């Protein structure tokens, strides 16, 4: 099973941002997306995760295989760490949250309400959620925001373990994670003006 993106064009708010994007992620490998702010990394990841339709092109191997982590962690302030994680595990049909708690050293915090966690701790909980989904493709949008150096190392080892188990990862980031992965710069794929036609919602209506 491979995640394959072919000649993909994506739009944000009806304006095309990227066009002609093609890449492949094979089992056991990760791909790091790079590009300046506003280049369209988030839009590309949201499209691959199936949250918005592509303008053009195909995405293969993304059906029911993707665990997406965006800027927001989807945590409920009034639920404890363990309750938040258990909820997501159950939604994805799993029940064991212990490995995820251990990987991000959340065990001492398990009964704390998520609302009382620091930003970095919340982020760790949001990333731990990926491990309980059991999905092979991790699509991560700036996963290291507000993480300290130790937490980044935890994240890197979690991704490495996931890849070793045959998983895949697609990560948009600005920092060096120390992963042995290919880099894909989206800057040359900026959309051209002539792609503007068909970019409106008309096709959808």
Partner 1 sequence: MIALLHRDLMLAFRAGGGFGLGLAFFLIVTVLVPFSVGPQSELLSTIAPGVLWLGALLACLLSLDRLLALDFEDGTLDLLATAPLPLEAALSIKALSHWLTTGLPLVLAAPILGLMLNLEPDGYLWLIASLGLGTPALSVIGAFGAALTVGIKRGGLLMSLLVLPLYVPTLIFGAEAARRGAMGLDGTTPLILLAGITLGTIALMPFASAAVLRMTLR
In the complex, minimum distance from the CB of residue 84 to partner 1, in angstroms, rounded to a whole number: 9
The C-alpha atoms of residue 99 and residue 101 are separated, in whole angstroms, by 5
Q: What share of the chain is helix, strand, coil (3-state, %, to 5)?
A: 35, 25, 40
Q: Given the complex with partner 1, which of 51 and 153 has the nearer CB atom?
A: 51
In the complex, minimum distance from the CB of residue 72 to partner 1, in angstroms, rounded to a whole number: 3
The C-alpha atoms of residue 59 and residue 48 are separated, in whole angstroms, by 7
Q: Given the complex with partner 1, which of 13 and 185 has the nearer CB atom?
A: 13
Instruction: List residues near partner 1 by CB under 8 A.
Output: 49-53, 64, 66-79, 83, 86-88, 90-93, 129, 204
Q: Given the complex with partner 1, which of 36 and 76 has the nearer CB atom?
A: 76
Q: Given the complex with partner 1, which of 114 and 152 has the nearer CB atom?
A: 114
In the complex, minimum distance from the CB of residue 168 to partner 1, in angstroms, rounded to a whole number: 15
């Amino acid at each position: 099973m491979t995640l394959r993106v072919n000649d993909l064009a994506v739009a944000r708010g009806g304006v095309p941002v990227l066009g002609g994007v093609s890449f492949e992620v094979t089992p056991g490998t990760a791909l790091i997306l790079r590009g300046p702010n506003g280049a369209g990394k988030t839009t590309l990841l949201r499209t691959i995760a199936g949250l918005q339709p592509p303008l053009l092109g195909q995405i293969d191997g993304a059906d029911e295989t993707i665990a997406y982590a965006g800027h927001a962690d989807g945590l409920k302030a009034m639920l404890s760490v363990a309750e938040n994680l258990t909820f997501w595990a159950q939604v994805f049909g799993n029940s064991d949250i212990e490995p995820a708690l251990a990987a991000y050293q959340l065990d001492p915090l398990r009964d704390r309400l998520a609302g009382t966690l620091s930003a970095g701790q919340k982020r760790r909980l949001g990333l731990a959620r990926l491990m309980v989904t059991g999905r092979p493709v991790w699509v991560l949008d700036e996963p290291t925001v507000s993480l300290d150096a130790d937490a980044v190392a935890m994240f890197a080892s979690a991704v490495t373990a996931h890849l070793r188990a045959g998983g895949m990862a697609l990560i948009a980031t600005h920092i060096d994670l120390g992963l042995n992965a290919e880099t894909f710069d989206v800057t040359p794929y900026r959309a051209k003006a002539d792609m503007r036609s068909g970019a409106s919602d008309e096709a959808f209506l």
